[in-house]
């Protein structure tokens, strides 16, 4: 099954009851949210803050104006006097204001006058105010009041309306002048405008209302002059100093100065914001920027904190999984999260790791099998080596056997033939003694040959005869052997002792008999004639899972340097007692080995001990296998 498909399916199953999210979209959402917050905050703080400040400033200003407007002239003077008394530099402050705003004042007036000249107004009635006085003084040379009135009156009726401009200084009774103007206006059907330049004081407002009521003037204007502002400023400041003066000089009033129509009963102010306000606003703005920057930084930090947390949350499943894999591949399971990408990665990894673990198991198993095979092969190799070794030694044995047999078979024959020649010659010479002697020698040689051939036949029989295991009475077997051997030379001189702790052996009869017979006959052959009481002690016992038959004698024993060769074929140990074919002990050894047992030689102070060792039936079965 393709890996990807399974992972996707299982991922879907995993998702089933839990809604998952794309990590990238989560990050994007957090980022966008942060950006929206930042921008919103910037806009809001700057807008709200600035608006707030403007609103505050305007309301403060209008409150002041309303306050001043509610004062009577005397009250105002009183207040100003108090202020001026208490404040240093108030006059300087005022003149600074004047200086600054003269140009604008002039501009206003000339605009009004321009309108008059254009004929938009029939009459312009200009009343001297606190500072328009100077302007009018200046302008009197250009357009004196009387001339203006006369000019106005002389002007033929036209579509043009005119304003009459009056300076209060030129007339003692303002109302008279106004009424005169009104009359003229009525006569001529002209429109009259009235402009009063002065402070917005309660007195002035009342006066304007009065003019409005008592004259025919269509509209009455109050010029709200800059001095008002400076006054406002001055009254607002409780402790003016040089800085304040400098600040006042910088106050900027727009040209479009403030018109008030008491009839409308609304004070409309069009003022550009004084410097202080601007700087305040700037400060507020700057503050807003700092605040915004602070918030932006905080939001960015928060963004990164959230991002980090999000990443850790998202990767925790993977890192946990990685740790679990490092600990134990097989037991590691990926726990799904709400992050889709990581789920997919995790599921894919899960599949891969599981397959890896399975593959590893398979490899381990096949490794174990290989090791097992290697062990088997190694064992087989060892078996082969052993078999080979056995074969080689068997081969060597066979070669030696052939060599020694050919020698030992040929030797007595060759001697006999030569001896026959000697005998023949002795007969010819009628040397009877020589004939006898050589005849004896011939007999010896042939006897030796016969013994050898007999032993070879026995050896062959040991190798090839099949016979069953059976329970054997040792005493009986030894008795038979002794009976056979009783004809041997010196037999009657030797004392035989028997002691069977283990009276029965479970083994093969003929082979055992051959062995026991040979052991006893050897003991007889190699008896020591010099011993006073030659003996042979035959014992049986059980020991460590073996039957042991021991034949002990006080005969000639085996010289130390001959013991190694003791059981090899054709070893004859005693030159002068050389009865045997040299195969005797070799035969015994082979026979014992064929029964699963062995023969061992032990030295003792008086002679030899030979032990025939046979495994007990259980052992025997094992050894057979």
Q: Which window, 207-215, 244-252, 440-448, 497-505, contacts other proteins (CB under 8 A)?
A: 440-448
Which 3 state secondary structure label does DSSP give 267?
strand
Task: Name the token pair of 290.
Answer: 């700092």
Between CA 569 and CA 580 the distance in angstroms is 11
Per CB under 8 A, 417 contacts other proteins: yes
Shortest distance, CB of residue 523 to other proteins, whole angstroms? 17
Among 352, 414, 457, 510, binds other proteins (CB under 8 A): 414
Residues 494/535, Cβ–Cβ less than 8 Å: yes
Exactly one of 562, 593, 621, 622 binds other proteins (CB under 8 A); which one? 562
Residues forming a β-bridge with 535 = 495
The nearer residue to other proteins, 306 or 439, going by C-beta atoms, is 439
Does residue 435 touch other proteins according to CB under 8 A? no
SS3 264: coil
- Min. distance of Cβ 521 from other proteins in angstroms? 17
Q: Which stretch binds other proteins (CB under 8 A): 159-167, 172-180, 509-517, 570-578?
A: 570-578
Continuous H helices in 500-560: 509-525
Q: Select from 25, 578, 593, 621 the one that contacts other proteins (CB under 8 A).
A: 578
Which tokens belong to 187? 């006569």
CB of 435 to other proteins, least distance (A): 12
Q: Which residues contact 337 (CB under 8 A, 6 or more apart)?
A: 20, 313, 314, 316, 317, 343, 346
CA separation (Å) from 350 to 341, 358, 517? 14, 12, 81
Q: Is 365 in the site for other proteins (CB under 8 A)?
A: no
Cα 6 versus chain centre, distance: 25
Least separation, in Å, of the C-beta of 409 and other proteins? 9
**For other proteins, the closer CB: 410 or 493:** 410
Would the CA dihedral through 169, 175, 180, 183 be positive or negative? Answer: positive
Report the C-alpha gap between 196 and 207 in whole angstroms.
Answer: 10
Closer CB to other proteins, residue 422 or residue 594?
A: 422
CB of 497 to other proteins, least distance (A): 29
Nearest approach, Cβ of residue 623 and other proteins (Å): 33
Q: By CB under 8 A, which span of 3-11, 258-266, 565-573, 601-609 interacts with other proteins? A: 565-573
Per-residue buried b or exposed e for 289-321, using 16+ beta carbons within 10 Å of the residue's own CB: eebbeebbeebeeebeebeeebeeebbebbeeb
Q: Which stretch binds other proteins (CB under 8 A): 144-152, 269-277, 492-500, 567-575?
A: 567-575
Does the protein bind other proteins through residue 415 (CB under 8 A)? yes
Contacting residue, 84, 444, 498, 528, with other proteins by CB under 8 A: 444
Report the C-alpha gap between 547 and 373 in whole angstroms: 40
Q: How far is the CB of 412 from other proteins (least distance, A)?
A: 7
CA distances from 223 to 45, 195, 317, 527, 603 (A): 37, 7, 79, 172, 158
Nearer to other proteins, 244 or 408 (CB): 408
**What distance in Å separates the CA atoms of residue 565 and residue 149, rounded to the nearest whole number?**
176
Please select the residue that binds other proteins; options are 198, 262, 274, 582, rule is CB under 8 A: 582
CB of 562: closest distance to other proteins in angstroms? 7
Place of tokens 């106004």: 178
Between 27 and 439, whose beta carbon lies closer to other proteins?
A: 439
CB-based contact 426:410 (threshold 8 Å) = no
Cβ-based burial of 124 (10 A; exposed 0-12, middle 13-18, buried ≥19): buried
Q: Is 576 in the site for other proteins (CB under 8 A)?
A: yes
Rounded to whole angstroms, how far apart are CA atoms 400 and 570? 10
Instruction: Give the relative orientation of helices 340-428 and 275-327 as an angle to the nearest 10 degrees.
Output: 30
In whole angstroms, how close is the CB of 436 to other proteins at the nearest point?
12
Q: Which of 80, 416, 554, 620 binds other proteins (CB under 8 A)?
A: 416
Nearest C-alpha neighbor of 601 from the set 537, 555, 551, 544: 551
The stretch near other proteins (CB under 8 A) out of 68-76, 89-97, 175-183, 444-452 is 444-452
Taking the complex as a whole, the smallest distance from the CB of residue 418 to other proteins amounts, in Å, to: 4
Residues 384-413 that bind other proteins (CB under 8 A): 403-404, 406-408, 410-412
Which member of 419, 549, 569, 614 binds other proteins (CB under 8 A)? Answer: 419
Paired strand residues for 197: 223
Q: What's phi and psi for 271, nearest 5 deg?
A: -120, 135
Residue 418 touching other proteins (CB under 8 A): yes
- Shortest Å, Cβ 378 to other proteins: 37
Using the rule CB under 8 A, give the single segment among 55-63, 82-90, 435-443, 527-535 that binds other proteins: 435-443
Residue 445 in the binding site for other proteins (CB under 8 A): yes
Establish if 310 lies at the interface with other proteins (CB under 8 A).
no
Q: How far is the CB of 447 from other proteins (least distance, A)?
A: 10
Give, as one character, the DSSP assignment of residue 339. Answer: B
Write down the least CB distance from residue 590 to other proteins, Å: 20
For the bound state, the minimum distance from the C-beta of residue 364 to other proteins, rounded and expressed in Å, comes to 57
Closest CA to 74 of 168, 205, 203, 232: 203
- Interface pick for other proteins out of 185, 442, 514, 599 (rule CB under 8 A): 442
Phi, psi angle pair for 606, to nearest 5°: -95, -25
**Does residue 527 belong to the site contacting other proteins (CB under 8 A)?**
no
Quick check: 39 binds other proteins (CB under 8 A)? no
Tell me the three state secondary structure of residue 335.
coil
Measured between alpha carbons, how far is 213 from 262 in angstroms, rounded to an integer? 11
Does residue 291 touch other proteins according to CB under 8 A? Answer: no
Minimum distance from CB of 438 to other proteins (Å)? 7
Give the span between the Cα atoms of 575 and 577, in whole angstroms. Answer: 6
Within positions 446 to 465, which residues make up the interface with other proteins, using CB under 8 A? 448
Quick one: 412 or 555, whose CB is closer to other proteins?
Answer: 412
In the beta sheet, which residues pair with residue 471?
506
> Can you point out the beta strands (E) in 380-510?
469-473, 495-500, 504-508
Q: Which residues bind other proteins (CB under 8 A)?
A: 403-404, 406-408, 410-412, 414-419, 422, 434, 437-438, 441-442, 444-445, 448, 559, 562, 570-576, 578, 582
């Amino acid at each position: 099954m393709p890996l990807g498909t399974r992972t996707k399916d299982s991922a879907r199953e995993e998702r089933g009851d839990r809604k998952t999210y794309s990590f990238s979209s989560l990050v994007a959402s957090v980022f966008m949210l942060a950006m929206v917050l930042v921008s919103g905050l910037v806009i809001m703080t700057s807008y709200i803050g600035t608006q707030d400040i403007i609103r505050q400033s305007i309301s403060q200003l209008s409150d002041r104006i309303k306050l001043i407007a509610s004062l009577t002239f005397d009250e105002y003077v009183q207040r100003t006097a108090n202020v001026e008394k208490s404040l240093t530099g108030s006059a300087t402050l005022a003149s600074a204001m004047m200086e600054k705003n003269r140009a604008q004042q002039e501009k206003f007036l000339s605009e009004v006058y321009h309108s008059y000249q254009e004929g938009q107004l029939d009459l312009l009635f200009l009343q001297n105010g606190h500072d328009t006085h100077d302007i009018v003084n200046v302008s009197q040379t250009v357009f004196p009041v009387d001339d203006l009135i006369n000019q106005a009156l002389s002007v033929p009726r036209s579509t043009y309306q005119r304003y009459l401009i009056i300076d209060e200084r030129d007339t003692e009774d303002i109302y008279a002048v106004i009424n005169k103007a009104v009359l003229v206006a009525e006569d001529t059907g002209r429109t009259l405008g009235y402009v009063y330049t002065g402070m917005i004081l309660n007195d002035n407002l009342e006066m304007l209302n009065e003019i409005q009521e008592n004259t025919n003037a269509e509209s009455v204007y109050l010029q709200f002059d800059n001095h008002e502002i400076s006054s406002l400023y001055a009254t607002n400041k409780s402790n003016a100093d040089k800085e304040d003066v400098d600040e006042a000089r910088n106050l900027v009033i727009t040209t479009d100065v403030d018109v008030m129509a008491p009839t409308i009963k609304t004070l409309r102010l069009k003022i550009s914001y004084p410097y202080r306000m601007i700087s305040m606003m700037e400060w507020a703005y700057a503050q807003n920027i700092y605040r915004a920057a602070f918030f932006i930084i905080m939001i960015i930090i928060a963004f990164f904190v959230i991002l980090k947390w999000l990443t850790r949350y998202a990767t925790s499943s993977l890192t946990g999984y990685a740790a679990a894999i490092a600990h134990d591949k097989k037991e590691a399971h990926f726990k799904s999260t709400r992050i889709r990408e990581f789920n997919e990665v995790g599921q894919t990894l899960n599949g891969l790791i599981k397959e890896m673990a399975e593959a590893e198991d398979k490899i381990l198993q096949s490794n174990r099998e290989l090791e097992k095979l290697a062990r088997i092969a190694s064992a087989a190799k060892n078996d082969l080596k052993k078999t080979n070794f056995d074969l080689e030694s068997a081969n060597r044995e066979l070669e030696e056997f052939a060599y020694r047999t050919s020698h030992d078979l040929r030797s007595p024959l060759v001697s006999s033939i030569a001896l026959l020649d000697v005998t023949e010659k002795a007969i010819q010479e009628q040397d009877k003694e020589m004939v006898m002697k050589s005849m004896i020698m011939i007999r010896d040689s042939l006897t030796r040959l016969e013994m050898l051939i007999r032993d070879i036949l026995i050896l062959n029989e040991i190798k090839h005869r099949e016979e069953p295991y059976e329970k054997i009475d040792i005493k009986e077997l030894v008795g038979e052997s002794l009976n056979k051997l009783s004809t041997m030379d010196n037999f009657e001189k030797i004392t035989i002792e028997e002691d069977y702790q283990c009276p029965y052996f479970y083994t093969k009869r003929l082979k055992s008999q051959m062995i026991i017979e040979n052991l006893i006959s050897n003991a007889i052959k190699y008896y020591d004639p010099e011993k006073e009481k030659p003996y042979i002690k035959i014992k049986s016992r059980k020991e460590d899972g073996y039957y042991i038959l021991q034949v002990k004698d006080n005969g000639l024993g085996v010289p130390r340097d001959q013991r190694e060769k003791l059981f090899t074929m054709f070893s004859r140990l005693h030159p002068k007692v050389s009865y045997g074919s040299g195969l005797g002990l070799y035969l015994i050894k082979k026979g014992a080995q064929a029964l699963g047992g062995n023969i061992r030689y032990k030295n003792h102070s008086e002679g030899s001990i030979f032990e025939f060792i046979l495994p007990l039936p259980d052992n025997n079965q094992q050894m057979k296998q």
